[in-house]
Amino acid sequence: MADITKDQKQPDGQVKAGADGQPRERSVRVVILALMIAMLLAMLDNMIIGTAMPTIVGELGGLEHLSWVVTAYTLATAASTPIWGKLGDMYGRKGTFLIAIVIFLVGSVLSGMAQDMGQLIGFRAIQGLGAGGLMVGVMAIIGDLVPPRERGKYQGMMAAVMAIAMIGGPLAGGTITDHLGWRWAFYINLPLGAVALAMVTMVLHLPKKQRTGARIDYLGAALLTVGITSIVLVTTWGGTEYAWGSAEILALIALGAVSLATFLYVETKAAEPVLPLHIFRSRNFSLMSVIGFLTGFVMFGAVLFLPLYQQSVQGASATNSGLLLLPMLLAMLAISMVAGRVTTQTGKYRLFPILGGGLMMTGLFLLSTMDTETSRLASGIYMAVLGAGMGFLMQITMLVAQNSVEQKDMGVASSGATLFRTLGSSFGVAIMGALFTGRVQDEMTARGGSQATEGSAQLDAASLAKLPDPVREAYEFAVASGTHAAFLLGAVVAVIAFVAAFFVKEVPLRGAGPAPAAGPEDTAKAKVAETV
């Protein structure tokens, strides 16, 4: 197996090319393969568990706490993301990354052994803690190994992992649950995790960090955790568990605002802030944080509501609805690979966020026009347009964010970009979900079929088949109306990303490439121009 040896590394942790350029290429690809397996762990888990949840509830009970199985994982992931990034910057990426994998696997084993819903929720939180370190670790290590100028050629691998998780997750979850039992939906992480641990241990060799006398910013980490937790709970509970104007939601909003305001003050005083505020002085980093948030908002909402529309309105099975997402995922994969190659060859990237924002906005608007008569071909074309837009944005946002900071801040830049995308997905699922649910229930009430959706706006295929024809038709119309509202909101959100993309500066990417690299004076001028 190819290895990255000490004589192939530069002092900043990047890997040098061999005499013919090949050893470096082979070594980096082996390391990135190991990283992609770890990335697949974090992404595949939620997709598999979603399919297994009905069986889990049937055995463990606790239906009223069902949402917490996902919420606990999401909260822990979001809250721990900036902390993992900072720990990697301070104490070294490899050790921190391996610890994250171990925590994730321990959480997986415990989740598979859970005897009641309370235990499962707690063990899922442990999983989430590890997952936060997996995503940040992958991005930060790639940032250390591969100069931004050359990073585009690996974008296709990341997009492929995402497509595998989104398509293969539900299929694998159903198969595992049906043949092995729901506990194996968690145990399946163990062989993948063991391979990732072995490969990362053997092939990844980064310069050891010199430990400094600075202490971890525990106060900042605690305040950020409270603030993020409050935000996620507001988006999760608002309009479902509690009314938006209820005392509980208002209290969470106040707690989140005070915690985050105090966090900003503390970060200006801390010796080693968990999220250094100076990185936001970079216009590009701030813009990529905003665009990443909006992309997460749109993408996870689309992945949630498209299968629901396909099952309820177009009559697809649960398995087929996953396969019907292929136009979106394949377009995202193809465009991500093309954008990565062009970025590597030319060093130019400013056009891609603009194209991505425009296509994402167009695709969402087209999806909002779907009704009960829309064919699968038409919806597939609409999804392909949306997928192309996300393909231009998914990896470019991380690339530009990392290129906007110094090497010593690579971890916090990666964790910051990941955090904003995670928060965006939480907001997107919650707000689009509330809008969808409200519209479906309103339409069903207006058409006299509200008893069919009592307590929930979502019906599975078996429940839908049992409805009388008039009620089923009313429900199909209501779902089409709900998806119209949700995707129209997504299109409005995408407009903001499209506009923000025009303000991105074309700062030269660090690292060698086919085109002439910028000189020291040019790079310094570009950095000044890019900083606001």
Segment 480-503, tens digit of pLDDT: 888 888 899 999 999 999 999 999
**Cα–Cα distance, 173 to 143 (Å, whole number):** 32
If DSSP codes are grouped into helix, strand and coil, which group holds residue 15?
strand
List, for residues 328-377, the tens digit of each pLDDT value: 888 888 888 888 788 878 888 889 999 999 999 999 999 999 888 888 89
The pair of structure tokens assigned to 122 is 């707690």
pLDDT of residue 207: 65
Backbone phi, then psi, for 531, in 5-degree steps?
A: -90, 130
**Cα–Cα distance, 242 to 234 (Å, whole number):** 9
If DSSP codes are grouped into helix, strand and coil, which group holds residue 86?
helix
DSSP string, 250-261: HHHHHHHHHHHH
**Which residues are paired to 239 by β-bridges?**
none
- Residue among 134, 158, 499, 142 nearest 332 (CA): 158
**Cα–Cα distance, 523 to 71 (Å, whole number):** 43
- Residue among 205, 57, 172, 186 nearest 130 (CA): 186
The CB density around residue 495, as the number of other CB atoms within 10 Å, is 17
List the single range of 200-204, 315-319, 377-381 with lowest mean pLDDT.
315-319
**Cα–Cα distance, 46 to 291 (Å, whole number):** 24
Percent of the chain at pLDDT exceeding 90: 15
Q: Could you tell me if 15 and 204 are in contact, meaning their C-beta atoms sit under 8 angstroms apart?
A: no
How confident is residue 30, by pLDDT bands cut at 50, 70 and 90?
confident
The pair of structure tokens assigned to 172 is 């694998």
Q: Report whether pLDDT(210) > 70.
A: no
List, for residues 274-310, the tens digit of each pLDDT value: 888 888 888 889 999 999 899 888 887 777 778 778 7
Backbone phi, then psi, for 288, in 5-degree steps?
A: -65, -30
Q: Could you tell me if 148 and 511 are in contact, meaning their C-beta atoms sit under 8 angstroms apart?
A: yes
pLDDT of residue 366: 94
Global pTM reads 0.74
- Residue among 75, 78, 125 nearest 236 (CA): 75
**Which bin fits 455, alpha (ψ -120 to 50), beta or left (φ > 0)?**
left
Across 514-532, average pLDDT: 41
Q: Cα Rg for the chain, rounded, in angstroms? A: 23
**Cα–Cα distance, 307 to 313 (Å, whole number):** 10
List, for residues 392-446, the tens digit of each pLDDT value: 887 788 888 888 888 777 778 888 888 888 888 878 877 887 788 778 778 777 7
In 20-75, where do the E strands start and end?
A: none
pLDDT of residue 450: 55
Q: Report whether pLDDT(165) > 50.
A: yes
Mean residue pLDDT across the chain: 77
